[in-house]
Structures are given as C-alpha cells and as structure tokens.
Structure 1
Amino acid sequence: MSILIAIVGILALLGIAWIMSNDKKNINYRAVAIMLAVQLFIAWFMLNTSIGQKVLQQIVNVFNKILSFGNEGIAFVFGDLAGKNYFFINVLMMIVFVSALLSILTYTRILPFAIKYIGGAVAKVTGLPKIESFVAVNSMVFGDTTAILSVQSQLHKLSPNRLFIVVTSSLVAVSCSILGAYMQMIPAEFVLVALPINIFSGLILSSMVAPVSKEEDEDIDIKEMIPEKSLFEAIGNGALIGGKTALIVGAMLITYIGLLEMLNFFLDNLVGLSFQGILGYIFAPIAFIMGIPTSEIVRAGSVMGTKVAANEFVAMLDFMKMIPDMSPKTVGIVSAFLISFANFSSIGIILGTVQAINGEQASRLAKVGLKVLLVATMGSVLTGTIVGLFL
C-alpha cells in the first residue's frame, strides 16, 4: 500500500509542476520520462547493491580531498578559529578558494571543455540545454553557490526560464564539503544515494515549471569564458569574486535568518506555535504521500518543515533523536529528503551569489524566489519518495 501511495505521490508532484508551468506546450515529456527512469535505476542500484555505494564514495573522497586544501588556507588565516563551528569561516571562506580554483580550471580550459562536452552529453540524453545539465551535475559535488559560479560567464545570457532551471536545480543539492557532517547524523547510505537522484529531481520539476525550447540552447564559446591573460590574473580575479560573493552571502544570511527569528517570536506569542511547527503540520500530509507510515507522518513532517524553515543541520539534529524510534522506511525517506539546500536561508545565499555576478539577473531571480524554493522543495520530496520505493 505504501508503494502505491508513493507512486501516486510522484504523479501528484509531476501534476503540480505541470499546473505551475508557464509554457505547457514546450514541456519536454521525453526528457522527463528518461530522467525519471534514470532516478529509479539509481535508487535500485544504490540501495540493493554494494558496488554503487563504493563507486560514489570514492568520487566523494576525491572532491573532499580537494576541498581540504582550501581548509589549509583558511586555517592559516584564521588559526584556531578555523577549527570551531563558525559558519562564516568554515563555509563562506571556502567560496574564496573554490572560486579561485574554478578560475584556474577555466583559464586552463579544463572547466570550459567540461561544460561543453560533459554538459553536452547529459543534454543529449535528457534533451535539456548544456549549461543547465552541467550545473545540475556540478551541484552534486560543489553545492549551489559554486555551481552557479562555475557558469558565471554565461549567466548574463540566460533567459528567465533558463535562469530558473539553473538556480532551482542547484538548490536541490548539497556540497561535498559537508557530507562528512551529514554522515555523522543520519545513515550514510541515504546521504550517498540522494546525491545523484537530486540531480534529476531538480531538472525534472524545474524544466516542467519553466520549459526551455531546444532552439534556446547554444554552443559554448570556450574563448569567451577565459577573460584573463595570465594564470596569476585568473587566480586573483577568482579570489576577489569569491570574497565578494562570501560577503554578500553572509549579509543575506544575517537578514533572512534574523527575519525568521522575528517571525517566530510573533507567532509564538500570538498562536503558541513557531513557524517551523506550523510547517511541520503542513508537511504531515506530504510525508504521507511520500510513503511514510501514518503513525509517523506528524513527526516526520515536523522534521521536514524544520529543514525548510531553518536548514538541514537543525532538522538533522532533531531527527537524530527520533531515528531509534522510527521505521527503516521513514528513516530512509526523511534522510534522503534532508540532503538538499532547499530552505529559506538558501534563497538568500543564491540571491547573494547571483548579485555578485550580475545584478540584473539577481533582480529577476528575486521576483520568483519563493517559487524557486517551492519547486526545489518539491524536488527534495521527489527524491525522498523515490528512495522510499526501494525500502
């Protein structure tokens, strides 16, 4: 019965995306079907064999090693503060290193070729444009902000629908730099299986809500992506862009999280509930259509609502206490749902990142910020539902 409910839930998500679409005639149903089939295969393969988990873990280890080099630079500048839980130091400062690294990869033509050929290969399979496909894959490794940075030279060319797909698909992702923390709070196997499935969850729903026609795709001019004349100029420009992005993102986070706390204060005094608590009740029926047992939907919905209202770390800390008392199916579904940056504070992060690159595009994005969050959250629901089918 739970499997049947989950199937209905998947169809409901696709139906909602269709209703929300601003161009129903141009929805690529073939691409949607292909990506959904790939998701189902990945979930089956990863949850029923050990080979898939081992391969993905090795890939994650490689990128974590790369990010550890950035941590050395952070530790040198901030000393003992780098080993403590300071978000600005441990997370935002990593943007500086990654941005410089991406500039090096761009100058040496490694990243442009990756965008052109890897993105092109994914685009041929799914029928989606190259840039959107590449950002979705890149987000699985570097997270939302650095995935946006990786196509900064192309960002100003994107139409509103293409920008929507790029941002939404990047939001249905997490950064490899924090996978280790996730694995200490929730079962590691669900962290790993959610990563590749998230790629297609974001692309499926965002491309239905904001379709792009094949004519909008364009060949990537590699020379156009390399403005610097020397390697050291590329490193310097990358570091400066990363620093600017980190500061803007920090300012956005202070604003959004502060406003959320203020809202919670008023709601608690007026109705005796926090914003997270209200969202928990809203997510209870959603938890049900994801295949979670009826007896656990309220508690699961509370965790899911907390993740959207605050962030995945706050939700995982609450979920850790519930895991021993919950069924394996619920643990798997909720864990997979939590592996994304789809929350209110991330809207500030994304806006800050785009603002640092192109103010005009940031203004367009700000108008559809809540819609981006809704579709990205639906992507997390889709990921959790698909995982639940194989538990």
Structure 2
Amino acid sequence: MLRLSSLAGILAILALAWACSRDRRRVSWRVLAWGLGLQVVFALLILHTPPGRWLFEIINDAFAAVTGYATRSAGVVFGDGGSLSMAGILAVQIAAIIIFFASLMGVLYHLGVMQRVVQGAAWIMARTMGTSGAESLACASNVFVGMTEAPLLVRPYLATLTESELMALMTGGFATIAGTVMALYVGFGAEAGHLLTAGVMSAPGAFVIAKLLVPETETPRTLGTVRLNVERTTVNVVDAAATGAADGLRLALNVTAMLLAFIAILYLIDGLLALADRGVATVLGVSPRGWSLAGLLGLLFRPFAWVMGVRPEDASALASLLGTQVAANELFAYQRLTSLAGETCAVGTGLLQEIAPRTFVVATYALCGFANVGSIAIQIGGIGSLVPERRGDLARLGPRAMAAGALACWLTACVAGLLLTDDRETWSYERLLVRKQVEAGRIAEAAETAHRMASSLAGTDWEEPSLRLRESMERARAAEAALAAGRADEARALLAPLAAQSDLPALRRWAEQRLAP
C-alpha cells in the first residue's frame, strides 16, 4: 500500500510541475519519459541486482573508511596521543571529513578519474533525453561537485545558454549535493550507498522537473555534442592534494558557520513562537499549543510527505524535515533525521512513536539536495560571477529553480519508495541504531539490536553483513565484560580484531580507545 502511495506521489509531483509550466504545449515528453526511465533503471541496477548490491556495499565501506581516516587524523591532531576527545566535537569532525574528502577529490580530478565518470554520465543523459551537451555535463558533474563548481565545466557556453538550459543547470545544482558534504552526511549517520544513489537518480530527475517548468523553445548551441575540456590547474598529485585540502578548509569553515548560524536562528524562532503561543493562550484562557517551527513546517509540507509512501503517523516528522531542508539547509535536516533514529517523536495524536525504517530511508533520498532558500543567493552569486551579463536571468529563475530542485529530490524519494525493499530499509535503519548505541557507549544494547537485525534479515541479501555485525557486537560485549572483570589480556585479544577490521567505524573507534594505553 505504501508503494502505491509512492507511485501516486510520482504522478502528483509531475502533475504539479506540468501545471506550473511556462509553456505546457512545448513540454518534451521524450525528456519526461527517459528521465523517469533513467531514474528507475539506476535505482533497479543499484538496489535490485547483485552487482548493484555489491557496489552499494563497496560505496558504504569506502565512505566509512574515508570518514574513519578523517576522524583518526582529527584524533592525532587535536587529541592527546591519538585519542578522540577533541575529535568527538562536531565542528572538528566536520572539518576533518570535509578537508580529507576535498583533498581526495582534488587528486581524483588531477588524475582525470572524475572527468571520465562525469562525461560518461553526461553522454548517457544527452543521448537518451536529447538534452544539450552543456546542460548534461553540468548536471552530471553536480553529482560530485558543488553547485557553484559544476558551471565551471561549461564556462565557455554560459553566456549563450538558452533560458531552458540555464534553468536545467540551476535545478541540477539544487537537486544534488557535492561529494565533500556527502561524506559529512555519512559522518552524521546517513548511508553512503543511498546518498550516492539519490544523487545519480536526481540528475535525470532534475531534467524532468526543469524541462516541465521551463520547456526548451530554442536551439541550444551544444545540442548533440558532449565535450568536456577541463584545464589542469595543479602540477602533480601532491599539489592537487594540497589544493584540495585548502579548498576543503574554506568549505569546512563555511559549513561550520552555517550550522552555528542556522541552528541559533532556528532556536530563536522557536523561542519567539513559544512566546507568542503563551501570549495567545493567556488571552484566550487556554493551554499553550506548543508552537514550534518544526510543527508549522510540518503542516505546510505534510501533503508532500503523505505522497512519498511513508506511514501516516510518520508524515508529520518527515514534513518537518522537508521544511527544515527548504527553510534552513539539508545539513541541519540530516542531522535532525539521524537524531530521530531510535528515538520517539511526536505524531498527530499527541503520542510519541519511533519513525519506521522506511521513513528514514525515504527521507534520506528526499533531503539529498541543496534545495533551500539560502542556496538561491549562492547560485546567483557563484554563476553570476562567471557571466555577469546573465545575472538578471539567474535572479529571475532562482526561486523557480530552487522549487524545481526540491521537487526533483522528492520525485527521487518517491521513485526510491516505489522500489525499496523491506530488508534494505531494515538494514540501513538498524545499522544506524547500532552505531548510535556504540557511540553512546551502550554496547550491550547495541549487541541486542544487532542480534534482532540479524534475525529479521535471515534469508535475505543482507543476511551475511548482518551476521558479521552481530558477531562483532558479541565480541565487543564480551570485551566489555572482560574489562569490567579486570581480565585485560582477554579483553585485548577480543578488541584487537575489532580495531583492525570492524565493518562499523564507530565500533572500530570504540575498540581503539579501549586498546589505547
């Protein structure tokens, strides 16, 4: 039944975009059909085929390793002899993850690896959907780089882009996230495989929504061609790594500043709403209603949450997250999402209830984009600095492109909701619960969660990794008991394998801390 809701959500979002189209008679049904088709194909390949599942796990392991290396480096730099006391501070974790990943991406771009990936993805979209080379390259690159860096790949063509191409370029920036912040969301607790799948799916999804809202009425200059010429600005791998690290530092400072500012602003708004709530309650002689920004946003975006295929009792929580994404940013929304896992949240009846695994995974897809009000200014400023003569077009298209980016993200969530399986949802959600419990030092509770997960996933494609995690958690529980009993040698023997090869970075860090002298 929930999957039927996701299907209805796809139709509803497409109908809304078509109804708001600038010229409904010029809509390209080829873009619509192939765009949706590519979304479904990408999702099926990654989520429902053995090679896709293998790739999914490889991506998860790779990002887990990256975030683990970054956190270790933070422990060495800020800690005492490699301890993670300072690395446990969120700002330090943010900086470590972003700087390391930016440096890694710099090396990959210097070696030409990312250019080949981007050109391949752009070629697929251009050949199937009939989009121009410039907009295809920009949209494909948005999966890996930021919304202000992607236009650099097509800088020679920016001045001559048609309005529809410019709309597609901007929508692609709003509908996807950069690889550097993707690593950050993994650090928050989101699953890398789902994030990358969402980014890949949202690239054609951005074209679908953009071309519905602003159909192509001209002949693009780069129609039928996909040429990627990127000037190499670094002299060798060392220079690329250093340049990437410097870029990452600037991004980390920007992200940290945004988090500080937006979290404070949201608390301020909640305080003002609570004050107004008490004032109204006093005047009317009733009890305060508990006004909050999350509650108001939940009411506004609840229709979109309903059609994404989540439980009705989770719609309010998901709607609040969608509103947070648009009004503030996806950073804060992801942080709130991962904090909800395993916790109770208010539902419409006033009861408290834990969100379902399906809701968590669908929300991971829905929030995977830069579609927020603040990003409008970033796009106008970033792209406008490259082509000042198009600043007026950028300002006029900005709000529409941001809305299109949000719709593209939510369209991706609906497609994912249609194709996701219960076992995958359970694996993603329960694994995060284990991680949170380990980070909180609740090893026995984490072991019970891992045992429950392994039992529920028996006979599925996720049985083997769940059994490995259960075995690791049982080892951790035994090590904790040995430490409590003063059996240090036994504890070290149990902890050593966990510190060396645990699939869960949080558990590996926990073991390393207990092995430290």
TM range (shorter): 0.7 to 0.9
**Stretch of structure 1 that moved more, 288-297 or 43-52:** 43-52
Q: Note if 1:305 corresponds to 2:305.
A: no
User: 1:140·1:176 contact (CA, 8 Å) conserved in 2?
Assistant: yes
Q: Equivalent residue of 1:216, what SS?
A: coil
In 1, distance between residues paired with 2:105 and 2:152?
7
The offset of 1:190, in angstroms, is: 2.5
**2:368 — aligned with what?**
339
Q: Note if 1:290 corresponds to 2:283.
A: no
**1:30 — aligned with what?**
30
The offset of 1:298, in angstroms, is: 1.0
**Which one of 175, 197, 200 corresponds to residue 196 of structure 1?**
200
- TM-score normalised per structure 2: 0.59
The offset of 1:200, in angstroms, is: 1.6
Q: 1:374-385 counterparts in 2 under 5 A?
A: 374-385=403-414
In 2, distance between residues paired with 1:161 and 1:261?
39
**Which one of 373, 378, 390 corresponds to residue 361 of structure 1?**
390
**Stretch of structure 1 that moved more, 45-54 or 33-42:** 45-54
Indicate the percent of aligned positions where both proteins have the same amino acid. Answer: 22
In 2, distance between residues paired with 1:328 and 1:362?
43
Give 2:140's aligned amino acid. V
**Stretch of structure 1 that moved more, 89-98 or 214-223:** 89-98
The offset of 1:121, in angstroms, is: 4.3
The offset of 1:188, in angstroms, is: 4.0
Aligned residues between the structures: 376
Deviations along 1:84-125, one digit per CA (max 9) or x if unpaired, are 7659977998999799889978xx9x9999887763442111
In 1, distance between residues paired with 2:328 and 2:139?
23
**1:46 — aligned with what?**
46
Give 1:131's aligned amino acid. A
Structure number, greater radius of gyration: 2
- TM-score normalised per structure 1: 0.76
In 1, distance between residues paired with 2:57 and 2:178?
14
**Stretch of structure 1 that moved more, 125-134 or 341-350:** 341-350
Q: 1:44-123 counterparts in 2 under 5 A?
A: 44-55=44-55, 119-123=122-126
Residues 129, 90 of structure 1: alpha-carbon distance in 2 compared, 3 angstrom cutoff: farther
In 2, distance between residues paired with 1:372 and 1:27?
17
**1:8 — aligned with what?**
8
Q: Equivalent residue of 1:215, what SS?
A: coil
Give 1:119's aligned amino acid. A
Unaligned runs of 5+ in 1: none
Residues 61, 24 of structure 1: alpha-carbon distance in 2 compared, 3 angstrom cutoff: farther
**1:352 — aligned with what?**
381
In 2, distance between residues paired with 1:114 and 1:189?
17
Q: Equivalent residue of 1:143, what SS?
A: coil
Q: More helix by proportion, 1 or 2? A: 1
Structure possessing the higher relative contact order (Cα contacts under 8 Å, 6 or more residues apart): 1
Residues 23, 176 of structure 1: alpha-carbon distance in 2 compared, 3 angstrom cutoff: same
Unaligned runs of 5+ in 2: 80-85, 278-289, 343-353, 422-517
**2:399 — aligned with what?**
370
In 1, distance between residues paired with 2:296 and 2:42?
34
**2:147 — aligned with what?**
144
User: 1:168·1:373 contact (CA, 8 Å) conserved in 2?
Assistant: yes
In 1, distance between residues paired with 2:407 and 2:12?
10
**2:135 — aligned with what?**
132
Give 1:146's aligned amino acid. E
The offset of 1:185, in angstroms, is: 1.4
**Stretch of structure 1 that moved more, 377-386 or 141-150:** 141-150
Deviations along 1:147-202, one digit per CA (max 9) or x if unpaired, are 12322232222222211110111211112223333234134442233121111221
